[in-house]
Structure 1
Amino acid sequence: MIRHSVAGILLWAVCAGFVSAQTPTPAQTQPPRATSKPYTGDLSIFDYPDRDKKLQIDRVMDLLGITAGKNVGDLGAGSGWFTVIASKRVGSTGVVIAQDINPIAIEYIGKRIKKDGIENVRTVLGLPDDPGFPPGSLDAVLMLKVYHEIAHPVTAMQKLKPSLRPGAKVGIIDKNGNGTAHGVKQDVVVKEMGEAGYSLVGTYDFTKADHEDYFLIFTAK
């Protein structure tokens, strides 16, 4: 009876190509961080009165450089609440691209803009790890309380980069949390965006004075 050592069998497997000799990197062995389940409920709840004032959305758009003629991406648009506001800001010479991974949200936004006669909005059905915006299409992007739902944020943000025009700003409004309760810590976002190839250019805490919300602005490196 022939006996083989564990080391000998492993060496044979490596040489035969059945097992990789490369040692797994920390990124390969570390499990993904916790994320929140994407919202699939009643979309109308996002259109509550005074939400624009509580989030100081005009100031947010000022800091993102959203002005007449700009192309804006609403990543994780949901009900299209921000999409509609931004469409007024960019005017007839600009475009807002409303993106979501939920087909129901895309349908909801489509009906909304048709009902309201809004002609400068386009919709994109994205994938969980790929926003799906057209290449070179965006001057600014806002992720409003959606970053914590992205399962593989580094991959998704890397896929976003080709859609950004030179100098484009990417804004993230979220709240501090552990990832599972519709919030993720600010320093985690900064770390992941850095890994995806972005530089932090602005940090603010004026959105919703609850000491949990934050507003970060990034540009692609």
Structure 2
Amino acid sequence: MISLCPSSRSSLFAAVLFVALGVLPTQAASPAPPQDQRPTSTPYSGDLSIFEYPDRDRKLQIDRVMDLLGITPGKNVADLGAGSGWFSVRAARRVGPQGVVFAEDINADAVRYIGQRAKKESLSNVKTILGTPDDPSLPPTSIDALLMLKVYHEIAHPIPVMKKLHAALRPGARIGIIDRNGNGTDHGLPRDVVLKEMAEAGYKLTGTYDFTKADGQDYFLIFTPR
């Protein structure tokens, strides 16, 4: 005969009761992931010189990109996820001394690098900003055009981030996103995912292009706030 201690009797009674009632104990359900989360790539933090490869201007047709974004003398531009400042310095030359380029990155080393680069190249209209993964920290009502060059796929919470961005935009501001098709973790993201998220964040698509690279994988999308 098996002897049961009081705690064992209680456990056995509970188990019998569950079976009798047709109820099985279950573990607490895991909380559902936030709706805006999807696979993302780890933000790049390595050698910044990789962004300076020869012929990048021609391959990306960056002058045409700036034309489509309405980047002209006197405009204020944001380079979100600026990296080495490759685009920042080109935009700074385009907008001239009456315009401003806000070079934003979440990597403090990149921000320092861009500051030194702007000083070396005598571009006093480049203003560096150290943002956070969930807040670009751009000044209110300051941006006429913004470009995210191969960085959108690194944003873990894109919808709240892009909603927060509304406050920094001037009326008629244009948001450009250049990225490549991928699964989210391979430094790329499906174009349809970007369209869906930007719509949820309060933006409308005004232009879609595929000229920024000849491999058929890149896309260039332009949005404006609704």
- TM, length-normalised to structure 1: 0.87
- The SS at the match of 2:165 is helix
The aligned counterpart of 2:23 is none
1:78 partnered with 2:83: yes
Aligned counterpart for 2:128 among listed residues 123, 131, 148 = 123
Paired residues of 2:36 and 2:157 also in contact (CA < 8 A): no
CA gap of 1:211–1:70, structure 2 versus 1, over 3 A, is same
Separation (CA, whole Å) in 2 of partners of 1:64 and 1:31: 26
Superposition map of 1:10-159 within 5 A: 28=34, 30=35, 32-159=37-164
Deviation at 1:175, TM superposition (A): 0.2
Displacement after TM superposition at 1:62 (Å):
0.3
Gaps of 5+ in 2: 1-9, 19-30
1:173 aligns with 2:200: no
| Structure 1 partner of 2:223 | 218
- In 2, distance between residues paired with 1:124 and 1:42? 20
Aligned residue type for 2:174: K
Segments of structure 1 that go 5 or more residues without pairing to the other structure are 7-23
Deviation string for 1:166-207 (max 9, x for gaps)?
000000000000000000000000000001000011000000
Q: Decide whether the 8 Å contact of 2:175 with 2:223 is kept in 1.
A: yes
Give the match's secondary structure for 1:59.
Answer: helix
Pairwise CA distance, 1:44: 1.1
- Aligned residue type for 1:140: A
Shift of 1:31: 7.6
Aligned length: 201
Asked if the contact 2:175–2:224 (Cα under 8 Å) also holds between the matched residues in 1, the reply is yes
RMSD: 1.8
Residues 98-135 of structure 1, C-alpha deviations (whole Å, 9 max, x = no match): 00001010001011111111111001111101111000
Distance verdict in 2 for CA 1:165–1:27, change over 3 Å: farther
> Partners in 2 of 1:212 and 1:69 — Cα distance?
33
CA distance in 1, matches of 2:93, 2:123: 9
Percent identity, aligned pairs only, is: 68
Contact 2:153 2:189 in 1 (8 A): yes
Matches of 1:41 and 1:152 in 2, distance apart? Answer: 22
Q: Paired residue for 1:11?
A: none
The letter of the residue matching 1:178 is N
Bigger Rg, structure 1 or 2: 2
SS at match of 2:84: coil
CA deviation profile, 1:10-36 (whole Å, cap 9, x unmatched): xxxxxxxxxxxxxx9x874x5821000
TM-score, scaled relative to structure 2: 0.85
CA distance in 1, matches of 2:33, 2:206: 26
Q: CA deviation at 1:42?
A: 0.2
Letter in 2 for 1:102: N
